[in-house]
Amino acid sequence: MTHHSANFITPEDVFTAYKGVNLIAGQRVATQAVLDVINPATGATLGQAAASNAAETDAAVTAARKAQIAWAQVPARDRGKQVAAAARAVADQAELIAQVLARETGKAIRTECRGEVAVAADIVEFYGGLGSELKGQTVPYNPRMLTMTTREPLGVVAAIVPWNVPLVLFALKVGPALVAGNTVVVKSSEEAPFATYLMAELMMKHLPQGVLNVVNGTGAVCGDALTRNADVSKITFTGSEAVGETINTIGAGRIIPVSLELGGKSPMIICEDADLDKAVAGAISGMRFTRQGQSCTAASRIYVHDSLKAAFMDKLAAALNDLKIGDPLDEATDVGTIINARQVATINRYVAMAEATEGAQVLRFGSLPDDAALSPELYVQPTILTDLPDDHPCVMEEIFGPVAVVQGWSDYEGVLALANSTHYGLAASVWTRSLSVALDSTARLNAGYVQVNQNLTIQPNVSYGGFGRSGQGKEASLEAMVEHFTRSKTIVMNFD
Q: Which residues are catalytic?
A: 173, 261, 296, 475
| Sign of torsion over alpha carbons 301, 189, 109, 174 | positive
Among 26, 106, 155, 162, binds ligand NAD (CB under 6 A): 162
481 binds ligand NAD (CB under 6 A): no
87 binds ligand NAD (CB under 6 A): no
Q: How far apart are CA 93 and CA 117, in angstroms?
A: 9
Q: How far is the CB of 112 from ligand NAD (least distance, A)?
A: 13
60 binds ligand NAD (CB under 6 A): no
Among 227, 236, 333, 451, binds ligand NAD (CB under 6 A): 227
> What is the three-class DSSP state of 223?
helix
> What is the three-class DSSP state of 22?
strand
Q: Comparing C-alpha atoms, which of 223, 139, 155, 153 is closest to residue 186? A: 223
Output 18 or 365, the one with its CB closest to ligand NAD: 18
| 273 φ/ψ angles, rounded to the nearest 5 degrees | -95, 10
**Window of 235-243, 270-278, 385-393, 401-409 that interacts with ligand NAD by CB under 6 A:** 235-243
Residue of minimal CB distance from ligand NAD? 219
Among 130, 247, 437, 481, binds ligand NAD (CB under 6 A): 247
Output 260 or 482, the one with its CB closest to ligand NAD: 260
Output 11 or 219, the one with its CB closest to ligand NAD: 219
18 binds ligand NAD (CB under 6 A): no
Q: Which of residues 421-480 bind ligand NAD (CB under 6 A)?
A: 426, 466, 471
Q: How far is the CB of 189 from ligand NAD (least distance, A)?
A: 4
Q: Comparing C-alpha atoms, which of 294, 251, 286, 300 is closest to residue 471? A: 251
- Count of H helices and E strands in the chain? 16, 19
Among 1, 69, 70, 220, binds ligand NAD (CB under 6 A): 220
48 binds ligand NAD (CB under 6 A): no
Which residues neighbour 12 within 8 Å (Cβ) at sequence distance 6 or greater?
A: none
> What is the three-class DSSP state of 366?
coil
C-alpha 4 chain-centroid distance? 29
Cβ atoms 315, 83 nearer than 8 A: no
234 binds ligand NAD (CB under 6 A): no
> What is the three-class DSSP state of 303?
strand
Cβ atoms 481, 150 nearer than 8 A: no
Q: How far apart are CA 79 and CA 399, in angstroms?
A: 40
195 binds ligand NAD (CB under 6 A): no
Q: Which of residues 278-297 bind ligand NAD (CB under 6 A)?
A: 296
Q: How far is the CB of 480 from ligand NAD (least distance, A)?
A: 12
Residue 454 CB neighbour total at 10 angstroms = 12
The interface mask with ligand NAD, positions 250-269, x = CB under 6 A, is: -----------xxx------
Q: Comparing C-alpha atoms, which of 165, 322, 306, 176 is closest to residue 239? A: 165
- Alpha carbons within 13 A on the beta-carbon side of 156: 24
Q: How far is the CB of 78 from ligand NAD (least distance, A)?
A: 30
Binding site for ligand NAD (CB under 6 A): 160-164, 187, 189-190, 219-220, 223-224, 227, 238-240, 243, 246-247, 261-263, 296, 398, 400, 426, 466, 471
